[in-house]
Structure 1
Amino acid sequence: MAVAMASTGSNFGFCSNLKAIEKQPISKAAPLRYFFSLDPVQLSCIIPKRSLSSSASTLIGKATPATVVEGGNSQETDAIPTPIVIIDQDSDLDATIVEITFGDRLGALLDTMNALKNLGLNVVKANVYLDSSGKHNKFAITKASTGRKVDEPELLEAIRLTIINNLIEYHPESSSQLAMGAAFGATPPNEMIDVDIATHIAVHEDGPNRSLLYVEAADRPGLLVDLVKMITDINIAVESGEFDTEGLLAKAKFHVNYRGKALIKPLEQVLANSLRYFLRRPTTEESSF
């Protein structure tokens, strides 16, 4: 999923203060100086069924109560496909692209589109395609207030959690496949990911004016907002990117720069070390005693 953000001149429209919305506790291992501003949108919170601890402030649209699985019945099979939600800010200049995949189990996702509209968004285009991994549902989304793509990390995270909540609501079998299942799903994941093993970070040059940052980590609510905050906290601007939720994992790709230029090697190392320290399990050095 791609996400466009900006802190010193980036596309995310960072402001000098972050408006905290509703504290959303975090789930398991998994989901910057606050420069974001969130347009006033009427959002309703999902109350996690379990108590979690999260540093992210996230509001998500509550799915309407479901009595039937969207698009028909949810056949139970031994192999439950991995749910994938991608938020892409790179492939379209005018809209945020959202892609949802869950094998061949997804229906028309009409309730999901309605939930996105409740966040103050317009679904301007939708299409479905099939390949070997199943049915892919793609939406082009803009903000109703401006007609432009979403550029606030908080709202992008709200979109992500709204979609995942609806996925769990209409396909409860996906709950055990998603990190969010521990937060507001009926069935939490059977096994938790080891955050130390799951965390991978790499920075590569992407031309003279920007670098490409890859982050893979255990997912949890608020992870997208926290990652952008960590990056901008060290004065690195986030231009755009993609944020993928793949089962228990989150995979992010961010285009970043420092004062309009690609990151130099020492700054790449600072960025990687900062994110690694933030994402991995805290440790205490024996020598500190």
Structure 2
Amino acid sequence: MAEVERDPFTGRETTGHEWNGIKELDTPIPRGVLMFLIVTHVWAILWWFLVPSWPLGSTYTRGILGVDQRTTVEARVVEGQQQRSAWTSRIETEPYDVILADEALMETVRATGRQLFGDNCAACHGRDGKGGANYPDLTDDDWLWGGGPELIEQTMRVGINTRHPETRIAQMPAFGRDEMLDASQVRNVAAYVYSLSHPDYSTSANLDRISAGREVFVTTCAACHGENAEGNRDVGAPNLTDAYWIYGADLDTIIASVHGGRQGHMPTWDERLTPAEIRTLALYVHDLGTQQP
């Protein structure tokens, strides 16, 4: 019978293994660790029977509890739709003026519209709706096509310069590039337009250029922007006399716009969003402009 060796310090048996003078103690696994391992294995086996676990070719073990995450999600979606239907049906059917007069309903519109706007519109117009380079600010209550919810809904539904059969169409010709105006006419009309929103530019040194630009504007630009340059919402022509600009209000940018033209684009949303979502966004965007101080 082999002699059992014990560690002189702890009194425990050794395994007989030795590394560089260090002997391994034959220490049993702690009872707490052993119990933990037993419980986890029992729980794992039990869980295999209770919930879906094992793939079986084209199917899987369903589990005694009948738990199905897809069914759970579908049930929650249906529940959420039922909860939303109380107000979405009103959004779809009631006139805009009735909805705008109902402050409780408008609070729901603002909360839901903020999420819809962030998911669909913020990439161009910014999370706050203030736009960015080459994209219009939706909070200033200055509109190309009109800021009423009915007009905003129509713009969202058909888009601008899209393939939709009812799309809004707007394009500023490239007067300089396409040689409809020569270089001096482009600079003159740009100077006139610049002076409309920058009165301090109308100095004695610039009056001749501004006057010449006025003549070009009347014969070339007034058909869209109006003789007073205050724009025309029927054709999406912006007001050139105020402080709101999409592409920039400095003289060089105006010259570039007259020379090379401008053509914006807004996608159609009638196949991407439901009618209730479009009307909710129309109300939300309308509200962005009217709520500004």
| Bigger proportion of residues as helix | 2
| Bigger proportion of residues as strand | 1
TM-score, structure 2 as length reference: 0.22
TM-score, structure 1 as length reference: 0.23
Higher relative contact order (CA 8 A, sep 6+): 1
**Structure index of larger Rg:** 2
